[in-house]
Amino acid sequence: MDNCLFCNIIAGKIPSACVYQDDKTYAFRDITPAAPTHVLVVPKAHVGGMSAVDELDDATLAACLRTVKKVAELEGLTNGFRTISNCGDDARQSVPHLHFHVLGGKRLSEKMD
Ligand code: DGP
């Protein structure tokens, strides 16, 4: 998708700090980190968000979760980490390309909202 920010990052048209990638997923550092480690995991195929995951094949969906785990390993998050996927306006999703925030490297807030 030409006008999708994360599609342009995946394509290398917009620079990003890549942490990991494979044929189905791309992981890169969030531009406004909320924790010492704040990485975004995205499928390379465009899908708008969690409410549209039926558009993704199961292998890609599974690959996203495996990449979350891989990022946690690469970042040394042995004491735990948090994975969040904001979906839609109430959740304040700001980029309409499915992504999983991987947060860690400190003791995170108990609050989820
Ligand atoms: P969300 O609000 O859940 O849709 O998260 C979108 C995240 O994307 C937000 O934490 C900031 C991040 N972000 C926005 N623009 C850019 C960018 O150009 N580069 C990078 N690396 N991250 C971005």
CATH number for the domain that contains residue 90: 3.30.428.10
What domain range is 12 assigned to? 5-104
Report the nearest atom of ligand 1 relative to the CA of 38.
Answer: 10
Ligand 1: residues with CB < 6 A are 5, 14, 16, 28-32, 40, 86, 92-95
Report the nearest atom of ligand 1 relative to the CA of 92.
Answer: 2
Read off the amino acid at residue 42.
V
CA triple 95-19-2, angle to 5 deg: 35
Residues with a catalytic annotation lie at: 99
Question: For residue 109, is it within any domain?
Answer: no
Q: How many CB atoms neighbour CB 51 within 10 A?
A: 11
The total number of structural domains that make up the chain: 1
Strand arrangement of the beta sheet that strand 100-104 belongs to: 18-21, 25-29, 37-43, 100-104, 81-84
Question: For residue 110, is it within any domain?
Answer: no
Q: Tens digit of pLDDT for each residue in 53-88?
A: 999 999 999 999 999 999 999 999 999 999 999 999
For ligand 1, mutation pick of 8, 32, 97, 101 (most atoms within 8 Å of CB):
32
Compute, in degrees rounded to 10, the torsion defined by CA atoms 61, 66, 19, 78: 140
CA of 33 to the centre of ligand 1 (A): 9
Judged by DSSP in three states, 5 sits in: helix
Q: Is the pLDDT of residue 1 over 90?
A: no
Tell me the C-alpha distance between 3 and 18, whole Å: 21
Phi and psi angles of residue 43, each rounded to the nearest 5 degrees, phi first = -75, 145
Give 18's pLDDT tier (boundaries 50, 70, 90).
very high
